[in-house]
Structure 1
Amino acid sequence: MTQNIEILKSLTQTTFDSVEGYRKAAEHSDSRALTTALEQRADMRAQTLAKLNNGLQMHGEKPIVSVSMTGSVHQTFLKITEAISGGDKAAVERVDEGEEYIAEKFRDVLTDEDVADMDLSVRTLIQDAYNEISKGEKFANMLEEQYA
């Protein structure tokens, strides 16, 4: 069970980082339409984060409430701030990178044979979260096509 919880913590941290990334991107967007779209995605991702945090709490763990300083998604989304001088297109590219990373991280867990015996409640929670994550990945791809 400990491995299950560590995996859940890691995915929850990555999800928290991505919420913050979306919020940063929305703050620095040039386009009102893009700002609105990014804010909406941040809200959807925050709902997923809340579900993951509830899962942690159900297993006696503390919720994730702060950005990781070493998280890859956080580092990728920090590039958004650097890319602001590049406008919406650069910000969208950074969001796309972050979405690819988080989706891959969830996919890897769900397909890893070493965690095939994962507790069903944890696996279901991760699968449900991945469903929203994959929508975020599609959203980022759509934005990239629009702003390319």
Structure 2
Amino acid sequence: MQGTYRADRDAKVNEDVPLGPMIAPLHLSEIERQHFAAIAQILEDQKRASPHYADHVGLLALRLSQIARYQAVLEVEGDTFKSQTSKKIEGKEVVFEMIRARPEVAMLSEALRHAQSLLGELMLNPSAALKLATGHKQQQDNDFADF
């Protein structure tokens, strides 16, 4: 099995990745491509865009699109649904009704966690922004600094 050679993936270990424009993976939908373009623009503005990150940014764009879909379903359908089961107990049929969480609740939770993780890996969250800010270093009082 042989893949397609891409020169942009030739970075050596401990070398900076080459900077440059990112191209959205082909499997992304139109909405996912819009998310991809917005994230790529943020990375370009920060001078951190690289073709090496395209698949990772594509995965984040996919998750953001899923989050929007799951939220839309939950807004229309609600967070729960009723399920009914019946059993015969002592010759009588008894109906049990349970209120359960919709499957989209768990899927949304997982997509949110994964998107948050990807944002952190791409350093696109608020704590990373503080680290990336030029000349910004938080001062902390440390009583033990002299030791």
Q: TM-score, normalised by structure 1?
A: 0.34
Greater strand share, structure number: 2
Greater helix share, structure number: 1
Q: TM-score, normalised by structure 2?
A: 0.34
Q: Which has the higher contact order (CA 8 A, sep 6+)?
A: 1
